[in-house]
């Protein structure tokens, strides 16, 4: 299939491109710089430079790719955390809202039949037992902007007419290129397993899925990925060779 991967040079995107390539898909990956677009070419995909805030340019780039599936892995996060202050995540919140709007509009115009999008699994309201996909999200604790942006992203992706959509609520990432070398608590997820879940979702599933490691004892912040295991074949132990 033809895949349009928005955010191909992000932490997950860089791991996902080779998986898609090895599965036989033709991949067009986006970046905001020519240098990074060239890196996409090295991974075996076609790289294009496009600003997702430029709706016309995005539509043109997507049209040239003739995509069967669009994968939304766009992020705008700092290279390192400076105390986890809300201001650090303002750009990412804007991207989730405005970037998603342009991406979904282009997909709708071009008749794309399927979209897979990145979301987060660590925004649930507290409650007993691991959180499942039907549990409510929680905008409290200074997270109003982040959770509001996630809600907007998910609503746009899931409710665009004519598109079968999959939203992957990723756990807290660790591994190459992320902020953490090892899992730091409940709801963790290795970046390779995150990328593999997106590969699986190209052809399987519909709706929202938690994508995270199991947590013994149901600790606070734990999420259940049983739905993803059952419907997508998700394996939290997947690692790239």
Q: What is the pLDDT of residue 99?
A: 97
Q: What is the pLDDT of residue 219?
A: 66
- Digit-coded pLDDT (tens) for 107-144: 999 999 999 999 999 999 999 989 999 999 998 877 89
Determine whether domain 2-232 maps to CATH 3.40.50.720: yes
Q: What is the pLDDT of residue 143?
A: 86
Q: What is the pLDDT of residue 215?
A: 80
Q: What is the pLDDT of residue 61?
A: 98
Q: What is the pLDDT of residue 221?
A: 76
Q: Give the residue extent of every domain in the chain.
A: 2-232
Please tell me the pTM assigned to this model: 0.94
Q: What is the pLDDT of residue 81?
A: 62
Parts of the chain with a pLDDT under 70: 79-88, 216-220
Q: Pull the structure tokens for residue 56.
A: 């016309």
Angle at the Cα of 217 from the Cα atoms of 212 and 221, rounded to 5 degrees: 45
Q: What is the pLDDT of residue 218?
A: 61
Q: What is the pLDDT of residue 3?
A: 98
- Digit-coded pLDDT (tens) for 68-78: 999 999 999 87
């Amino acid at each position: 299939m033809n895949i349009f991967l928005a955010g191909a040079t992000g932490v997950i995107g860089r791991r996902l491109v080779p998986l898609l390539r090895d599965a036989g898909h033709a991949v067009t990956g986006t970046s905001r710089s020519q240098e990074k677009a060239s890196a996409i070419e090295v991974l075996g995909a076609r790289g294009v430079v496009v600003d997702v805030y430029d709706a016309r340019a995005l539509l043109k780039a997507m049209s040239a790719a003739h995509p069967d599936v669009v994968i939304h892995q766009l992020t705008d996060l700092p290279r390192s955390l400076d105390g986890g202050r809300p201001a650090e995540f303002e750009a990412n919140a804007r991207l989730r809202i405005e970037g998603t709007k342009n991406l979904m509009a282009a997909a709708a115009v071009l008749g794309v039949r399927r979209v897979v999008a990145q979301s987060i699994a660590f925004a649930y309201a507290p409650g007993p037992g691991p959180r499942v996909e039907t549990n409510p999200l929680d905008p409290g604790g200074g997270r109003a902007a982040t959770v509001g942006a996630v809600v907007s992203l998910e609503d746009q992706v899931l409710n665009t007419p004519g598109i079968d959509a999959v939203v992957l609520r990723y756990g807290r990432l660790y591994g190459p290129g992320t902020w953490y070398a090892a899992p730091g608590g409940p709801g963790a997820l290795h970046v390779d397993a995150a990328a593999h879940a997106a590969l699986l979702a190209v052809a399987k599933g519909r709706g929202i899925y938690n994508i995270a490691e199991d947590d013994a004892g149901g600790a606070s912040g734990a999420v259940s990925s049983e739905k993803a295991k059952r419907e997508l074949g998700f394996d939290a132990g997947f690692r790239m060779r």
